[in-house]
Amino acid sequence: MNDAFKALSDPTRRRILELLSDRDLSAGEIAEYFDISKPSISHHLSSLKAAGLVLDERKGQNIIYSLNMTIFQELVKWFYDFSKGGTHT
């Protein structure tokens, strides 16, 4: 979960997640929303993938990125438990 929090600390990665919350996108489609290089977008996507926040699937020549809702459910549960003063792992 630490990797997820680290990944979420970057505003570009948060924006990528917001874009993916609307629909699954390729790296090229994601890059269209930013004024940074495609290698930088790839780096951000790699960080999100390593943190388990996004999933990727090859479709033809493209890699399509989508949100990994399981990790978001775990994060929400952690915040809920934290706010209730529950036991933390």
pLDDT of residue 87 exceeding 60: no
Give the pLDDT confidence score for residue 84 in this predicted structure.
Answer: 87
Distance CA(85)–CA(38), nearest Å, equals 42
Overall average pLDDT of the 20-25 stretch: 97
Residue 51: count of CB within 10 angstroms of its CB: 19
Q: Judge if pTM exceeds 0.75.
A: yes
Give the pLDDT confidence score for residue 88 in this predicted structure.
Answer: 52
**H/E element, 26:** strand 25-26
Distance CA(58)–CA(56), nearest Å, equals 7
Using one digit for the tens of pLDDT, what is the confidence trace for 45-62?
Answer: 999 999 999 999 999 999
The DSSP-derived string for 37-69 is -HHHHHHHHHHHHHTTSEEEEEETTEEEEEE-H
